[in-house]
Copies of this chain bind each other. A is one copy, B any other.
Amino acid sequence: MKTRALTSADVAEVILAVGIDRFYDELVESMTEAFAGYDPAVTMARTRDGFHYEKPDLGLLEWMPTMRLGSFACVKTVGYHPTNPVQRGLPSVVSTTALYDTATGELVALAESTLLTALRTGVASAIASDILAADRALVVGVIGCGAQAVTQLHALSRVRRIDEILAFDVDPSVAATLERRLGLSFPVTVIDEVRRRTLLRDVDLLVTCTSVDIGAGPVATDTESRPWVHVNAIGADFAGKTELPKAFLDRCAVFPDNLDQCLAEGECQQIDPASIVASLPELVRDAERFRSYQDTPTVFDSTGWALEDQVVLEVLLRHACRLNVGSSLELSTKPADPYDPYETLRR
């Protein structure tokens, strides 16, 4: 059996060959299709499960499995270690995704998926925003200017024109580099703590993507807001970790990516389930109807869903095979006698 191994350099090679903007557009298209056609009898997407711990630092390691019946299973393993950037110079989210053939159980592909995870999270927000956000050029606020902010804003720029970005980070030096890291044409204005407190008043769309500690939220302050404001809330992914003020959430129509996960780990932890309108697959399937929410305050509650990881891996592998990118790892060879476990010892 040959396993296609894709390192982060291989992933980059594929994306550069396709072009990053076109790659985003393909992801938007493929993920929209996957959500619209999502049938839990054909594609099983488990809510994630994993280990949460406080030693050596606060962190988690989770697995997010999906299976397309009669075809393959896809298991993303993702670590979230908020001390990684400052203490180790590593991304806080680190991930690999494995693809298995469900006819044989063999590992078909393994991809480093730290960038893929950031891309698919951005794309899910873009898809929700394209339905729920006001259909005009937007002033966008962002709280938390790390790696996720880049892909959130870039993906959003593929579905809406962005006039200006107002960016806040608890570490101003991180906010200061956002414009360079984004590398796009719209200006990024770094704002201070005083302006952060009224940010909801000044924007058409807000993105929250912080590593706020459990119980330390909200990161956005409730103020009067534009009637059409839309929020992509990305950071909540732990029981007790939320980013938005409850009073604001209570005024909004809330759309979780995955209802069970969002009730356990997302902004939905904070609210009356009655304010939950529809999950992402329903939103996409009935996009025309939900566009009526463009004039009202809405929140996309993103905890990150296994189906998104499956789609991004599928798109990547399609191009990687076409371009012949990645290395081939011969994990095992077909035995002469499948009943002989010692065959490799006799070669």
Query: Which residues of A are in contact with B by a Cβ distance under 8 Å?
Result: 5, 7-9, 11-12, 15-16, 20, 44, 49-51, 53, 55-57, 59, 61, 63, 65, 67, 69-70, 73, 75, 77-81, 84-85, 88-96, 98, 100, 102-107, 110, 112, 114-115, 118-119, 145-148, 150-151, 174, 177, 181, 183, 327, 329-335, 337-342, 344-345, 347
Contacts and interface: CB of A to CB of B under 8 A. Distances in A.
Contacts of A106: 79, 90, 94
Contacts of A342: 20, 115, 150, 181, 183
A67 B53 contact: yes
Contacts of A105: 59, 61, 78-81, 84, 93-95
Contacts of A49: 49
B73 A340 contact: no
Residue in A15, A93, A337 whose Cβ sees the most chain B Cβ within 10 Å: A337
Contacts of A119: 341
**Identical chains in the assembly:** 2
Contacts of A69: 53, 55
Given A90-B334, A177-B337, 16 more contacts: A9-B344, A50-B65, A55-B70, A56-B102, A61-B102, A63-B65, A79-B100, A79-B105, A88-B103, A90-B106, A90-B338, A92-B338, A96-B331, A145-B339, A150-B339, A150-B341
Interface of A is mostly: mixed
A147 B63 contact: no
A55 B112 CA distance: 29
Contacts of A344: 8-9, 11-12, 115
A340 B147 contact: yes
29 contacts: A7-B331, A9-B344, A12-B347, A15-B345, A16-B345, A49-B49, A53-B67, A55-B70, A56-B103, A79-B104, A79-B105, A80-B105, A85-B339, A89-B338, A90-B338, A91-B335, A91-B339, A94-B104, A94-B106, A94-B332, A114-B341, A115-B341, A115-B342, A118-B341, A147-B338, A147-B340, A150-B342, A174-B339, A327-B329
B8 A333 contact: yes
A5 B88 CA distance: 23
B112 A110 contact: no
Contacts of A104: 79, 81, 84, 88, 90, 94
B94 A65 contact: no
